[in-house]
Amino acid sequence: MDKESLLKVLGLGHLVGKNPSLDVHSPIDGALLAKVTLTTSQETQEAIHRALEAFEIWRAVPAPKRGMLMRLFADELRHHKEALGTLVTLENGKILQEGLGEVQEMIDIADFVVGLSRQLYGLTIASERPAHKMLETWHPLGPIGVISPFNFPVAVWCWNFALAIVCGDPVIWKPSEKTPLTALAVVTLFKRALSKFSEAPPSLLEIVIGGKDCTLKLLESPHLPLISATGSTNMGRTIAPIVAQRFGRLILELGGNNGMILTPSADLSLALKAILFSAIGTAGQRCTSLRRLIIHESLLDTFLPKLQKHYQSIKIGDPLKDTTLVGPLIDEHAFEKMQQALQAAQQQGGTVFGGERVLEEEYPRAYYVKPAIVRMPTQTDIVKTETFAPILYVISYKNFADALEMHNDVPQGLSSCIFTNDLREAELFLSSQGSDCGIANVNIGPSGAEIGGAFGGDKESGGGREAGSDCWKTYMRRATNTINFSSSLPLAQGIKFGENN
Ligand code: UN1
């Protein structure tokens, strides 16, 4: 399907060739995909007000009915998986398999929340007073601002959106300015689902595309009780104080610096596969990408050359071709950051393998690179810094305790894994003295999490949790209720008040 027809199928035909403010280029070849109008801060304000009105209606719709809307949306996604996955690839540059995987992740979370909509349970709690009952009830919170990144232009948004909708909260979505088309296509698909559902207000989902002004409007608005933002740690540092100032709730999903401990007892062929997918997949542009390989010194001389050999033969190029494993970086800035990191690594004693630009003649306006492996003597400053590119730092260890210490000695705490067949090592890694990350895996790489679990990490990774498990609770307001069905008024803590008067 050519680009124009693809945009038409996804309801974006009107954007082709128009002339407003934001040019959207494909990282595959730098070609112009479409032009998109930027939202002004006045329009953002209006969107917030519409979402607020929608909240008044939506919060009164029973949760299982709200779930039915997500079922319709999941059907639209299933129906358009191929087209939407292709658009993800065109606009973001990840290989088609991963573009399709991203849409599947949306379908999975949409299916998950259909069931969840019947399980927004509260507790009943034993009261200390006779003939009293205590319980917890969960209520819709209000319109939610979702700020999503370029690297998962739709899946990460959908984790938030799906939960918000069944919890009774409208969403205002600010997608990355690097990937607005995928977002607009998804809004069109959601509107189709909405048109089949009579009880839903039209403003359940608002989209704003813009820079600082429009982001600031969302962050500062007292009408958005929760802001969920995914991006770099620097972005988190900027936005968190603004939301905290007005006591807004925040879900932050920020940078990762994910490690793998590779031990002598590991199944090395499994480990190799896991390293390839997690270090070079998505061209190293996942927050869960593998960035540090902490390898036992006895394995280094045999394993590292094998890994380098595999890196040599990786097919880099057009992400729409099914033999390609590594597509382009998102833009020139990403390429420069990668080169700066490699230079810094060399200055800090590293030996760099790969990392150079390739296919420059064929694609002069795109940035394809060879994934890099960097052998480091120790875990220096650059290794402790997240660079959003395919760079794998390799550091060796002698004792398991040192490996664990090194593993946790970075500012980030998102995802982690160990490859071992030693039960003690595996269990220690998962224990309170083990990995300090929000995600800790055994014999699985750090990337590619399923939606059923809570996703997110601690330290500079932001502390937020999204997707499955009980993450829905952050999108709701909890009330503790005490009901007295006796004919007296006993006070808690045994207090006697005014009884001697
Ligand atoms: C991200 O890169 O921000 O676990 C999210 C994973 C994907 C999500 C990554 N399911 O790698």
Over range 440-444, report the average pLDDT.
98
Can you say whether the dihedral through the CA atoms of 128, 129, 131, 137 is positive or negative? negative
The mean-pLDDT minimum among 54-63, 131-140, 491-500 falls in 491-500
448 lines ligand 1 (CB under 6 A): yes
**19 part of a folded domain:** no
Taking Cα atoms as reference points, which of 82, 55, 152, 185 lies closest to residue 475?
55
Catalytic residues: 253, 287
449 lines ligand 1 (CB under 6 A): yes
The verdict on 69 and 217 lying in the same domain is yes
The verdict on 181 and 85 lying in the same domain is yes
> Residue 362: its pLDDT value, please?
98
Range of the domain at 360: 258-451
Task: Work out the number of other CB atoms within 10 angstroms of the CB of residue 350.
Answer: 26
159 Cα: distance to centroid of ligand 1 (angstroms): 11
CATH number at residue 232: 3.40.605.10
Q: What is the mean pLDDT of the chain?
A: 96
**313 part of a folded domain:** yes
Which of 430, 451, 472 marks a domain boundary?
A: 451
439 lines ligand 1 (CB under 6 A): no
156 lines ligand 1 (CB under 6 A): yes
Tell whether the model's pLDDT for residue 18 goes beyond 50. no
**88 part of a folded domain:** yes
The verdict on 212 and 332 lying in the same domain is no
The verdict on 283 and 415 lying in the same domain is yes
The verdict on 226 and 297 lying in the same domain is no
| Residue 63 near residue 166 (C-beta atoms within 8 A) | yes
The verdict on 334 and 467 lying in the same domain is no
The verdict on 319 and 306 lying in the same domain is yes
Tell whether the model's pLDDT for residue 287 goes beyond 50. yes
Give the atom of ligand 1 at the shortest distance from the alpha carbon of 287: 2
The verdict on 215 and 269 lying in the same domain is no
DSSP E strands, 398-498: 412-413, 415-419, 439-442, 454-455, 458-459, 466-467, 476-484
Number of domains in the chain: 2
Nearest CA to ligand 1 atom 1: 287
Nearest CA to ligand 1 atom 7: 448
Cα 448 to Cα 466: distance, rounded to the nearest angstrom: 14
- Predicted TM-score (pTM) of the model is 0.95
286 lines ligand 1 (CB under 6 A): yes
How far lies 490's CA from each of 128, 133, 357, 472, 496, in Å? Answer: 10, 13, 75, 35, 8
**232 part of a folded domain:** yes
231 lines ligand 1 (CB under 6 A): no
What is the band of 19 on the pLDDT scale with cuts at 50, 70, 90? very low
Tell whether the model's pLDDT for residue 15 goes beyond 70. no
Q: Rounded to 5, what percent of the chain is helix, strand, coil?
A: 40, 20, 40
**22 part of a folded domain:** no
429 Cα: distance to centroid of ligand 1 (angstroms): 21
To test the pocket of ligand 1, the residue of 286, 414, 415 to mutate (highest count of ligand atoms within 8 Å of its CB) is 286
**29 part of a folded domain:** no
CATH number at residue 338: 3.40.309.10
The verdict on 303 and 355 lying in the same domain is yes
Q: Give the angle subtended at the CA of 402 by the CAs of 397 and 408, to the nearest 5°.
A: 110
181 Cα: distance to centroid of ligand 1 (angstroms): 20
18 Cα: distance to centroid of ligand 1 (angstroms): 33
The verdict on 384 and 396 lying in the same domain is yes
**Which tokens in the block code for residue 113?**
């929340």
193 Cα: distance to centroid of ligand 1 (angstroms): 26
3-state secondary structure of 204: helix
The verdict on 306 and 187 lying in the same domain is no
The verdict on 303 and 275 lying in the same domain is yes
Question: pLDDT, tens digit, for every residue of 333-383?
Answer: 999 999 999 999 999 999 999 999 999 999 999 999 999 999 999 999 999
Tell whether the model's pLDDT for residue 16 goes beyond 60. no
